[in-house]
Chain A
Amino acid sequence: MAFEGFPLIVGWELTLACNLRCRHCASAAGLARENELSLDECLAICEQFPALLVQEVDFTGGEPLLKPGWENIAARLRELGIITRLVTNGVGLTPATVERMKDAGLASVGVSLDGMEATHDYVRAREGMFHLVIAGLERLVAAGLPPTVITAVNSLNVSELPQVFCLLQSLGVHAWQIQPINPNGRSSERPELQLDENQFLELGRFIAEWSPKGREAGLDLRPADSCGYFTELATDDGWRGCSAGIAAIGIMSDGRIKGCLSMPDELTDGDLRKNDLWDIWFRPGAFAYTRDYEYGKLGPNCAGCEHGDQCRGGCTSMSYTTTGRIHNDPFCFHAIRARQQAGVKAQFRREELVELACQKCAEKMSPTHV
């Protein structure tokens, strides 16, 4: 039967240019890609969305605020009736920018906050960024533009999450997306930031324990795709497998297409400069890694799992970047528990990661964080 899904959610990397060089950046953002889409090309792409039933577009980067004309794209999407949000590193949230965001009709703004001051600024590789982000969050709240704080959890900030919770509560933030660091891009050169299996479980315990407190306090904790599944630690048992190429799609700033922007660049599935989105989306064989899933495709981390039909091997990006395979997510809570109960040696132990880091990139490391 022909595929009948739609790209209901679009992640759109407006530019890979960024004014920061974060140590954990999975996109290795900094300089713009060669030959990024022009504003006119972006606006033309917007016109393709309604027929494909696109419901929401989330601008990412790089730093999307560095894309000239981002407001024009947002405004056109609003005219088309499409919800538009923007994810920023938060250092450019001046009063004028917040006003432009409101005028452009953004439904909300995602702001990265990766720990308390020392850790956040270490991850950002620049001092003073924490205070800029906090000031930006205060401006968004005051302007009535609801921020969602996004925290990429790493080995340095996993123990700070309760403090961050209290901080967000005091700032009047109501939504907090928590996602484990993805070992891709610059992050892949920073094994000392990666979570090991026990830290993944620590993250799970935090979410399980603090989500009810968040509901009481009006702060909604949302673990992202790569955080779960099928234990009491996963607060949402609704995980039904990776939606990349099934109900979601990612547009790179040069027009190439991925099922999800968090995937490595080698997993592209088309180019908007060569084909329109309809043809890319409905091309027979497109996004086969999720659309043509069968239980037998599960990798060794997931093989034999009773949840395999539903789960499909966890987060595609996490699976691929850590193991080189799809349907093989090594950081599934359920799988970690099963391995620990069976006495199987952990695949990712912190001591080994640090040792690897020291061998590979000792010159880039800060001894205080090893």
Chain B
Amino acid sequence: MIQPINVVLADWIWRRKWIFYYLVVVNDIFDKNQISVNVNPEFENVTFGYAKAYIEKGEMPPADIAPAILNMADDYLAGRPVAIRAGDYIAIHNHMRKMAK
């Protein structure tokens, strides 16, 4: 089963106390700096594949996502819930989109 990951929002985003024109009922979305996301199988396959290759064979992931994958590998090894910075999350998605073209 695919585990959700936590995306850590940049400080300047979550510390802002946004008010929304269309926010019908203000809720606690912006009281937290992490958003839990159920990633799709493709995301999990890519990230887990790179992390596994790094852990088992010492293979470095592609440069554009290497920091994100190494951090995720640390979380996997430590048995922690995976938490990645927003910038790393975006980089992984951009990498996947580039590969798909």
Q: Which residues of A contact B (CB under 8 A)?
A: 2, 4-6, 8-9, 11, 50-51, 53, 55-56, 58, 60, 81, 83, 85, 87, 107-110, 146, 148, 150, 175, 177, 179, 222-226, 236, 238-241, 243, 246-248, 250, 260-262, 278, 282, 315, 317
Contacts and interface: CB of A to CB of B under 8 A. Distances in A.
CB-CB nearest 5 A-B residue pairs: A238-B17, A11-B22, A240-B16, A110-B24, A85-B24
Interface string B13-50: 10011111111111101100001011010010000000
A262 B19 CA distance: 14
Nearest to A262: B21
A2 B30 CA distance: 21
A51 B40 contact: yes
A240 B93 CA distance: 29
A9 B17 contact: no
29 contacts: A2-B90, A4-B13, A5-B9, A5-B13, A9-B23, A9-B29, A11-B21, A50-B37, A51-B40, A51-B93, A56-B27, A56-B29, A60-B22, A85-B24, A85-B25, A146-B25, A148-B24, A148-B25, A224-B19, A225-B19, A226-B21, A238-B17, A239-B17, A239-B19, A243-B19, A243-B20, A247-B13, A248-B20, A282-B90
B29 A8 contact: yes
B17 A6 contact: no
B55 interface: no
B40 A87 contact: no
Given A4-B13, A56-B23, A248-B18, A278 B40 contact: no
B70 interface: no
Interface in B58-101: 86-87, 90, 93-94, 97
A6 B25 contact: no
Contact of A278 (B23, B87, B97): B97
Q: Interface size bucket, B side? A: 20 to 34
Contacts of A50: 37-38, 40
Contacts of B16: 240-241, 243, 247
Contacts of B40: 50-51
B53 interface: no
Contacts of A315: 21
Nearest to B96: A51
Contact of B21 (A109, A148, A224): A224
Contacts of B43: 51
Contacts of A246: 13
Nearest to B26: A222
Contacts of A53: 7, 35, 37
Contacts of B35: 6, 8, 53, 55
A240 B18 contact: yes
B87 A4 contact: yes
B24 A238 contact: no
A248 B21 CA distance: 10
A11 B24 CA distance: 10
A107 B25 contact: yes
B39 to A, nearest CB: 8
B5 to A, nearest CB: 11
Contacts of B10: 4-5
A312 B20 CA distance: 15
Contact of A238 (B19, B21, B25, B87): B19
A150 B7 CA distance: 33
B36 to A, nearest CB: 9
Contacts of B90: 2, 4, 282
Contacts of B9: 4-6
